[in-house]
Structure 1
Amino acid sequence: MKWILLPILFVTLAVSGTALAQPSPTETVKKTVDDVIKIVSDKELKKPQNEKRRRQEIKRAIGTVFDSAEMAQRAMARHWRDRNAAEKKEFVDLFENLLENSYAGKIESYNQEKVVYLKEAIDGDYAEVRSKIVTARRDEYSLDYRLMLKGGKWVVYDIVIEGVSLVSNYRTQFNKIITNQGYAELVKKLRSKNKEISMP
């Protein structure tokens, strides 16, 4: 996975809230891109004394990006059915915090990269929005969004960066830990990681 793309990834992922008329998946993604960029570009929010507020705004925006429960379940794959209700809730919370806390700082390094929307494909309640990122040096990277229709709005359940699925990447890591060390060890590692990268 090309981690250098993550600042751009999370700037361009936010999914809009309620709307009177359901926008297309591309419109949904594109609409909120401006809102997120506004946060990271706000001169007032960039001031050191506003760091906590800025991070809270970023976290709020990131929180609207993902269907965390869907992503967590897909990342756990076959191990999900072995968890009880309390474990599932805890894992979703840990996974959501991991995503939010891991990339809040990276979002702030957004540097006017250009997002070009290429193609949209809808198949029932599922959709894919294909795009590319163009940097100031004119380097280009593919960034595709996988969305599903839930509760009357499109939400992102996976992102594919240069052909690598974010959910699949986590699934591989989680499966290896659970298989070799057990589920309890995965939870321990997630708690430790979240504490290490917790937001101010």
Structure 2
Amino acid sequence: MHKRRLFAHLAAVGLFALVAGQAPVFAQSQTPDALVRQVSSEVIDSVKADKTIQAGDIRKIMALVEAKVLPHVNFQRMTASAVGRYWRQASPEQQERLQAEFKTLLVRTYSGALTQVHDQTIELRPMRSKPDDTEVVVRTEVKGRGDTIQLDYRLEKQPEGWRIYDVNVLGVWLVENYRNSFAQEISANGIDGLIAKLVERNKAAAAKASAKS
């Protein structure tokens, strides 16, 4: 599946693993599948109800993502997994910069694709987990215009509630997808080279967004 199409499908349901902030208190008592259903529904409903988001208002879209999606995901774990074995080689400052730039990259990418939301609905498939599991996979299907999209979410149980840390779209796990490209960049140019590459991509995306506004 083409990478841009992958990003668009993820954004269409408003879920991706991006942040290390605190999840809302109410999430502590939620089951993982209920959390996925809630966040998906809230994002889809918000986009459908706001014509400025549908028209591509990037600031409003990013605000929606920050408010509805980011509090429910573990960005630190996702970044560390994407960087892979090189994560331990990175200094605390490099780790912090990687997290910040990776977050900016994905927020902009997914926010831009949210304008593609139209009549999508999400259906949860039966859970295959035990009550005492601390890591689970929630399997869902997104239905609407075009083919049905299979989306799977990996979640971990934290003191503040369930947190998403990876997403699978049609057989492609997001962390694995980035791990391959990140490893190539680090191998060629080091950890600072990867940071510089992410900074470059984020500046280009910001400039493009400003030109459209």
Q: TM-score, normalised by structure 1?
A: 0.87
**2:24 paired with 1:22:** no
Is the 8 Å Cα contact of residues 166 and 175 (structure 2) preserved in structure 1?
yes
Instruction: Check whether the contact 1:14–1:36 (CA below 8 A) recurs between aligned residues.
Output: no
Question: What is aligned with 2:50?
Answer: 43
**In structure 1, what residue type is equivalent to 2:136?**
A
Q: What is the alpha-carbon root mean square deviation over aligned residues?
A: 2.5
Letter in 2 for 1:76: V
Structure with greater strand share of residues: 1
Greater shift after overlay, 152-161 or 179-188?
179-188
- Tell me the equivalent position of 1:70: 77
Matched, 1:95 2:96: no
Matched, 1:13 2:15: yes
Structure with bigger helix share is: 2
- Provide the C-alpha distance between the structure 2 equivalents of 1:100 and 1:140, rounded to a whole number of angstroms: 24
1:150 aligned residue:
158
Equivalent of 1:79, from 80, 86, 110? Answer: 86
Q: What residue is the counterpart of 1:134 in the other structure? A: 143
Are 2:151 and 1:119 equivalent residues in the alignment?
no
> TM-score of the superposition, structure 2-length normalised?
0.82
Larger displacement relative to structure 2 (25-34 or 159-168) = 25-34
- CA 1:12–1:85 in 2, change beyond 3 Å: closer, same or farther? same
Partner of 2:5: 4
Rounded to whole Å, the distance in 2 between the matches of 1:24 and 1:133 is 20
What is the CA distance between 1:130 and its match in structure 2?
0.6
Q: CA deviation at 1:99?
A: 1.1
CA distance in 2, matches of 1:167, 1:92: 13
Q: Per-residue deviation at 1:80?
A: 0.4
Q: Report the identity percentage.
A: 23
Aligned counterparts of 2:46 and 2:139: Cα–Cα separation in 1? 24
Which residue of the other structure, out of 166, 175, 179, is the alignment partner of 1:171? 179
Equivalent pair of 1:39/1:45 in contact (CA under 8 Å): no
Q: Which amino acid in 1 is paired with 2:15?
A: L
Aligned to 1:185: 193
Gapped regions of structure 2 (runs ≥ 5): 18-22
Is 1:108 the counterpart of 2:115? The answer is: yes
Instruction: Give the direction of change, closer, same or farther, for the CA distance of 1:58–1:79 in structure 2 (3 Å limit).
Output: same
